[in-house]
Amino acid sequence: MPSPRDYRKLIGEAFEEYKDNATGFVEYLHLSVKVGLPEQLLVAAREMLKEEDDPIKAVWLRLLAARLHARKHQNHLIPAELVGIPEDESLPDGVRSCAYNILSRMHMAEAKLDEALECCEKALTLAGGEKDPATLETLSTLGNCHFYMGRYEEAFDYFRMYLKGLMESGRKIPGTLYNNLAVIHTELGNFNEARKAYNKALEVETEDQNPITISFALSNIASFLLSQNEPAEALKYAEDAFVMMKNSEDNMALTMILVGIAEAHMELGKLDTAIMQAERALFFATNTGRKILIAETKLLHATVLAMLGRPEAADQLKEAIDYCDSLSLDRQPEWIERTLYEYARLLDPKAGYELLLRAREVAESRAPMPAVKNILGKINVMIRNSPANPNRPRRKRIVKRKSSRRKPKM
């Protein structure tokens, strides 16, 4: 593992290589840490910041520190690193654009999507032309932001602009972009195109030989297979992903992989194994600081508890739903309709009926994936048969009629 001394040398070389390109400087160094947390790089950046006399280089080092805090999911430390940079009109536009883009990622992690979008727009205004690295990184962030807002067509447009810019500037296309395109294809119901994009992401990451990003690609394919009602095949991919994460400290990747493993076991009817993996996923999720990921993991965990008939299930279901509602999201988190369905089964008919109507509305807003169709079918059956349903079909009352036939005389 490189030491702070090694990273000091790398930072010095990056200053020379990227000169007027703050975004390129930050992203190059961020990506230089392929496995594990960037602790040693952060130590090197802080040491150099204390010694740096050049005010512009000092700002670049602060940008780097903020980006590394985001990598470590320590979003609460980012504002202090960036204080004053985005608003300082004496700084180069590219530097300010980079700062706004980092802030937008922080806001997305906190599920503050309006603030994230505002920062993205400011970053894009300050960035250079279509091939400017600051522009390209902002287009990627805008795509993610619109996705989480449920604006799939707009997200697709931004990712395609990002792809075009990368190709025209001769930069390598990252596997994460193919993954993002795959997710959008899935939400739009283009399942064949989604699988192709997921496979392309895995191909790119395999070429790079980075175990963390390979595990992400494998985990994403597992998630897609689960949406297509293929839990056995999904489990193979998810378990392969987990093997790739051996000795890793990436809480986000571990959460996503364990969620996939838990869901696959749940669909296969192995609920005891599913709850064990869901509990592990929840532990890692709470350490990411990413509220949407935490919400989705809480929902899965509570749902499996309900399916097991655990006494604490009702409280956990309510807590998970309340947590999701507190985020005020346009795009409802994965699992919310399933959790609403399970909670409705534990409540009185009237309260349960209201939750079922909400669950149906969410499920009907999803792409027509096989897994969504399954839960929607269960929700509709429960709505139809609910005593609180004003349109519930009435059972015909069977009246025994007296026979008109006369008894024979004896």
Site of tokens 């988190």: 333
Q: Which of 206, 238, 257 is the last residue of a domain?
A: 257
Whichever domain contains 209, its CATH number is 1.25.40.10
Looking at the fold, whether 238 and 297 belong to one and the same domain comes out as: no
397: left (phi over 0), alpha (psi -120 to 50) or beta: beta
Q: Please classify residue 262 by burial: count the beta carbons closer than 10 Å to its beta carbon, then call 0-12 exposed, 13-18 middle and 19+ buried.
A: buried
Q: Which of 235, 257, 279 is the last residue of a domain?
A: 257
* Predicted TM-score (pTM) of this structure: 0.88
**What confidence tens digit (pLDDT) does each residue in 294-319 have?**
999 999 999 999 999 999 999 999 99
Looking at the fold, whether 297 and 383 belong to one and the same domain comes out as: yes
Neighbours of 175 (CB within 10 A): 24
Looking at the fold, whether 303 and 360 belong to one and the same domain comes out as: yes
Q: Is residue 188 part of a domain?
A: yes
Q: Is residue 215 part of a domain?
A: yes
Looking at the fold, whether 298 and 382 belong to one and the same domain comes out as: yes
pLDDT band at 245 (very low <50, low <70, confident <90, very high): confident
Q: Please classify residue 109 by burial: count the beta carbons closer than 10 Å to its beta carbon, then call 0-12 exposed, 13-18 middle and 19+ buried.
A: buried
Burial 205-236 (b: 16+ CB within 10 A, else e): beeeebbbbbbbbbbbbbbbbbbbebbeebbe
Looking at the fold, whether 296 and 249 belong to one and the same domain comes out as: no
Looking at the fold, whether 294 and 242 belong to one and the same domain comes out as: no
pLDDT of residue 77: 94
Q: Is residue 22 part of a domain?
A: no
Q: Is residue 182 part of a domain?
A: yes
pLDDT of residue 1: 72
Q: How many domains does the chain have?
A: 2
| Closest among 271, 225, 217 to 245, alpha carbons compared | 217
**What confidence tens digit (pLDDT) does each residue in 180-218 have?**
999 999 999 999 999 999 999 999 999 988 888 899 999
Domain coverage including residue 351: 290-388
Q: Is residue 367 part of a domain?
A: yes
| Closest among 149, 142, 108, 113 to 125, alpha carbons compared | 142
**DSSP notation for 295-315:** HHHHHHHHHHHHHHT-TTHHH
pLDDT band at 81 (very low <50, low <70, confident <90, very high): very high
Looking at the fold, whether 233 and 298 belong to one and the same domain comes out as: no
Q: Is residue 232 part of a domain?
A: yes
Q: Is residue 164 part of a domain?
A: no
pLDDT beyond 80 at 50: yes
Q: Is residue 121 part of a domain?
A: no
> What's the mean pLDDT when you consider all of the chain?
92
Looking at the fold, whether 299 and 246 belong to one and the same domain comes out as: no
| Residue 300 near residue 281 (C-beta atoms within 8 A) | yes
pLDDT beyond 50 at 405: no
Kindly state the average pLDDT of the residues 156-163.
95
Helices marked H in 309-369 — which ranges?
313-327, 336-344, 349-365
174 Cβ contact list (under 8 Å, min separation 6): 204
Dihedral sign, Cα of residue 33, residue 39, residue 40, residue 46? positive
161 Cβ contact list (under 8 Å, min separation 6): 130, 139
Structure tokens at 180: 């993002």
